[in-house]
Amino acid sequence: MDRRLFLKGTGVAAAGTALAAPAIAQGRTEWKMVTTWPKNFPGLGTGAQRCADRITKLTDGRVNVKLFAAGELVPPFEVHDAVQNGTAEMYHGSEYYFQGKHPAFAFFTVVPMGFTVPEMDAWINFGGGQELWDELAGQFNIKPFACGNTGVQMGGWFRDEINSVDDLQGLKFRSPGLGGEVLRALGVNVINLPGGEIFPALQSGAIDATEWVGPWNDLAFGFYRIAKNYYYPGFHEPGPQLCGGVNLDAFNALSDSDKAAVEAACRAENNLMYSEFVAKNGQALTTLVNQHGVLIKEFPQDVFAAFADASEDVVNEVGNHDDLAKRVLESYRNARREFGGWTKISMQSYLNERGRTLTL
């Protein structure tokens, strides 16, 4: 063999190897996921971690997602800004935390007297909701995905009983989103706090009452130590959807298969989290009542009627913000009417009959 040809060939091979390694490295990327939840918080925080891990696995590590809990990289209510400006590539949180940026964001978590979980999924996937959400979030350089749901929530923890609408006057109550605006319209002093700050505020008297999620999460936070009156149903959050929001530039830089993996991971967590909450809430409710003396109470009918009336006014007002808000509201109204008719004669009627005929 000609030594010069051998060395030349070796040089070409070596050069090719040297070029291949950086190309492989360039095909892998590190993503930071910031969340609005305390570290490892049951359901919400652990669900965000599952999603992060699933993206990493589905992409074979090409997109390696590291999770930062609330306050570890940015404050909980600043995760949207962090992803918008590229400080992080992804967030996991509730869109109604960002309704100050645009009031229509609330519709993509939950609105009072709005969708149940199946209805929300139907709207997002088949009712035009995702397209409207993409349009809204895209204005902030974000691609949104449904990424979890807690199911219908409890109405809240109260130190004192609520026997009439008058009992709401001046009450210092923690509640975000449009549900908070409904309570404000009824004379409540509404305060918005991230999850990790609620218990200290309740303990110190900075707030008189709070809603959070439901028995499983509320047991973990220990609200029963301060307030014993636990009211239902939660008019404000009948099916709150969580968001996996991805920086649009980071998302568009992915291959089609990795884009599909991110979407699949979020969709999987959307279903898995809901089923986990259904499984764990019943167990936690029994613990709250039998071990901690919590009093489960239903809102009086006149109080709930006041919630419902004020809800329609607050939700309808969002449509006056701009053309996009108007289109979101119209889509929501149409879907609630169409889906609600089927829900009434299927799920609602079945549960009513099951409740009358079975002792659970």
Residues 184/190, Cβ–Cβ less than 8 Å: yes
Q: Is 96 helix (H, G, I), strand (E, B) or coil?
A: helix
User: How do residues 228-255 score in pLDDT, each as one tens digit?
Assistant: 999 999 999 999 999 999 999 999 999 9
Cβ partners under 8 Å of residue 296, min gap 6: 230, 232, 285, 289
The model's pTM: 0.89
Band (pLDDT 50/70/90 cuts) for residue 15 is very low
Is the model's pLDDT at 17 over the cut of 60? no
How many other C-beta atoms can be found within 10 angstroms of the C-beta atom of residue 101? Answer: 16
Nearest to 213 by CA among 190, 232, 186: 232
Band (pLDDT 50/70/90 cuts) for residue 358 is confident
User: How do residues 54-107 score in pLDDT, each as one tens digit?
Assistant: 999 999 999 999 999 999 999 999 999 999 999 999 999 999 999 999 999 999
Residue 233 forms part of a structural domain? no
Report d(CA 106, CA 315) in Å as an integer: 9
Nearest to 155 by CA among 172, 174, 129: 174
pLDDT of residue 22: 31
Is the model's pLDDT at 18 over the cut of 80? no
Report d(CA 111, CA 204) in Å as an integer: 30
Residue 252 forms part of a structural domain? yes
Residue 297 forms part of a structural domain? no
pLDDT of residue 99: 96
pLDDT of residue 26: 58
Residues 245/33, Cβ–Cβ less than 8 Å: no
Give the domain range for residue 101.
17-150+239-278
Residue 357 forms part of a structural domain? no
- In the chain, the percentage of residues whose pLDDT exceeds 70 is 92
Residue 87 forms part of a structural domain? yes
Residue 4 forms part of a structural domain? no
User: How do residues 124-153 score in pLDDT, each as one tens digit?
Assistant: 999 999 999 999 999 999 999 999 999 999
User: Among the residues of the chain, which ranges form H helices?
Assistant: 3-26, 44-58, 79-84, 117-126, 129-138, 177-185, 198-204, 215-221, 248-252, 256-292, 301-318, 323-343, 349-357
Report d(CA 283, CA 287) in Å as an integer: 7
How many other C-beta atoms can be found within 10 angstroms of the C-beta atom of residue 62? Answer: 17
Count of domains observed in the chain:
1
- Domain at 94, CATH number: 3.40.190.170
Residue 210 forms part of a structural domain? no
Residue 287 forms part of a structural domain? no
Burial environment of residue 119 by CB neighbours within 10 A (0 to 12, 13 to 18, 19 or more): buried
pLDDT of residue 14: 35
